[in-house]
Amino acid sequence: MLTNVKNTTLMAALFCVVNLCYANTANAEQSNDLATSDPVKFSFAFFGCNRLNKEGVESTHSDSTANIAQLLQSFKDIANSPVPPNYLFLAGDIVKGKKPGTKKLSKELAEWVKLVSDPNQNPLIQKNIPIVAFTGNHEILVNQEDGKNCIYAQCPNPPAYLYWQDYMGKTNTFIFGKNGPVTNANGGKDDLLTDEKHLSYSFRSGDVFFIILNTDTQIDAVTIGDIPLHWIKQQLKAAQQDHNVNHIFIMGHKPLLSSDNNGSDTTGNGTIRSAEAEAFYALLKLNNPAGDNSSTSKVRIFLAAHTHEWNYMPKMTVGNITGIVPQIIAGNGGSPPNSSWLNDDAYFGYTLVEITQSGVVTAKSFGRPFDTKEYYKQSPIEPATLRTTYTLHTPENNKQVTLKH
């Protein structure tokens, strides 16, 4: 009798274990089915602001002035993505720069190119993931104390504008377009001092349209935070009318709004200057060549850096324009963090934007902790982990929001 009880108990236990295993297997298969039922068809990674400050350069002896350990770890993490992204966009401030002329800039960029072009250090090369780099203020501006005409904290460094285009776009291959704004004499309407065809530009990849912005367009000797509004309007109109384009992504170094400035900055030092930010956001919202709200918006997000933190703004009021075209600031690439980005949850890393087969667009922020007292420490560096995910677009929610003035 005791034997029968023991056997019955054993059988029951085995039954439970088998059923539990079956349930776990079923749940795993169901989860896997959900993950593969709408697979990622296109993706890209994005981050900015990896340059060190003076203390960081002196401590690490980085000839490129890049935060090398953080940069290479982000390359490794991105290369190890389950679905390798189609591009990596680096949103400016990749070197320290900000000195008159190009002597310092050329030295730093040469060391930076040498670093990221080494297949033994950059696994993105083996995965055939191209790097698209564009300018931040550290590449093309100078500080007030070094500039002859500065009336704000910084001002344009004219030789740097030409040098970046030649070195990064012609000598090397980090620029992916040449259709940017030109001077009025050459047919432009944005009052540029020189052609900036390789600083702001656009290109299409499949059904995705990218607009890259130089957010310090040179229109005179003192203005900063300027963008080529007329050229942007033309690009948006063309993309809106193009039936081959389903998604538009716009990116630049300086944001529309910043937590540093409690909004936009009239001087153009902390954000796109407020005189143009409102008109720019209206273009992103309206995004319709008909001039009304009769068609749906293809603009999924404006991506920026400059502020050394990670910040998502799902709804913004820029000047008198309120809308739901979101902004992500991904300036957490490895530069000295903002005071607001020194808490226990702060992290360095990158943003991954994914588009699924059905057209769902998500933005995922990946990050790793860092030493808040010595952000430039080169070891140990942990792999990045997923911190947060936001849905930017679903096909059934493809409606243009009415402009609110």
pLDDT score of 402 more than 90:
no
The pLDDT tens digits for 273-315 are 999 999 999 999 875 544 455 457 899 999 999 999 999 999 9
pLDDT recorded at residue 149 = 82
- CA distances from residue 265 to 153, 255, 269, 281, 310 in whole angstroms, order as listed: 12, 10, 7, 15, 19
Is residue 239 pLDDT above 50, yes or no?
Answer: yes
The rounded distance, in Å, linking the Cα atoms of 99 and 107 is 12
Which pLDDT belongs to residue 285? Answer: 82
3-state secondary structure the chain: CHHHHHHHHHHHHHHHHHHHHHHHHHHHHHHHHHHHCCCEEEEEEEECCCECCHHHHHHHCCCCCECHHHHHHHHHHHHCCCCCCCEEEEECCCCCCCCCCCHHHHHHHHHHHHHHCCCCCCCCCCCCCCEEEECCHHHHEEECCCCCCCCCCEEECHHHHHHHHHHHHHHCCCCCCCCCCCCHHHCCCCCCCCCCCCCCEEEEECCEEEEEECCCCCCCCCCCCCCCHHHHHHHHHHHHHCCCCCEEEEEECCCCCECCCCECCCCCCCCCCHHHHHHHHHHHHHCCCCCCCCCCCCEEEEEECCCCCEEEECCEEECCEEECCCEEEECCCCCCCCHHHCCCCCCEEEEEEEEECCCCEEEEEEEECCCCCCCCCCCCCCCCEEEEEEEEECHHHCCCCCCEC
What is the average pLDDT across 316-338? 95
β-strand 201-205 against 208-213: which pairing, if any? antiparallel
Q: What is the pLDDT of residue 297?
A: 81
Residue 367 has pLDDT above 90, yes or no: yes
C-alpha 291/C-alpha 236 separation (Å) is 12
Judged against a pLDDT cut of 60, whether residue 26 lies above it is answered with no
Q: What pLDDT is attached to residue 35?
A: 56
pLDDT in tens, 164-197: 999 999 999 999 999 999 999 999 999 999 999 9
Whether pLDDT at 399 is above 90: no
Percent of all residues in the chain with a pLDDT value above 70, rounded to a whole number: 86
The most distant pair of C-alpha atoms in the chain lies apart, rounded to whole Å, by 103
What is the average pLDDT across 116-125? 98
- Distance between CA atoms of 312 and 139, rounded to whole angstroms? 25
| 239-248 average pLDDT score | 94
Q: What is the per-residue pLDDT for 263?
A: 72
Residue 272 to residue 285: CA distance in whole angstroms: 17
pLDDT at residue 5 above 50? Answer: no
Is the pLDDT at 47 greater than 50? The verdict is yes
What does the alpha-carbon distance between residue 383 and residue 322 come to, in Å, rounded to a whole number? 38
pLDDT at residue 296 in the model: 72
Say whether the peptide bond before residue 380 is cis (omega within 30 degrees of 0). Answer: yes
Q: What is the pLDDT of residue 287?
A: 56
Q: Across the chain, what does the average pLDDT equal?
A: 89
Q: How confident is the model at residue 389 (pLDDT cuts 50, 70, 90)?
A: very high
pLDDT at 405 over 70: no
Q: What is the pLDDT of residue 397?
A: 61
Write the secondary structure of 28-91 as one string of H (helix), E (strand) and C (coil).
HHHHHHHHHCCCEEEEEEEECCCECCHHHHHHHCCCCCECHHHHHHHHHHHHCCCCCCCEEEEE
Lowest pLDDT segment from 147-151, 235-239, 324-328, 334-338: 147-151
pLDDT of residue 398: 54
User: Can you identify the CATH homologous superfamily of domain 42-397?
Assistant: Metallo-dependent phosphatases (3.60.21.10)
Q: Tell me, what's the pLDDT at 148?
A: 81
The total number of residues shown for the chain amounts to: 405
Q: Cβ contacts of residue 163 below 8 Å, gap of 6+?
A: 102, 105, 106
Q: What angle do helix axes 68-79 and 103-116 make, rounded to 10 degrees?
A: 40
pLDDT at 370 over 80: yes
Angle at 207 (CA atoms; ends 202, 212), nearest 5 degrees: 20
* pLDDT recorded at residue 242: 94
- Please say whether the beta carbons of 92 and 305 come within 8 A: yes
As a whole number, mean pLDDT of residues 372-379 equals 94
| Annotated domain spans of the chain | 42-397
Of residues 340 and 120, more confidently modeled: 120
What is the band of 261 on the pLDDT scale with cuts at 50, 70, 90?
low
Contact 309, 330 (CB under 8 A): no
Instruction: State the average pLDDT over residues 67-78.
Output: 98
- For the ranges 10-24, 349-363, 389-403, the maximum mean pLDDT occurs at 349-363
User: Does 4 score more than 80 pLDDT?
Assistant: no
How do residues 306-325 score in pLDDT, each as one tens digit?
999 999 999 999 999 998 89
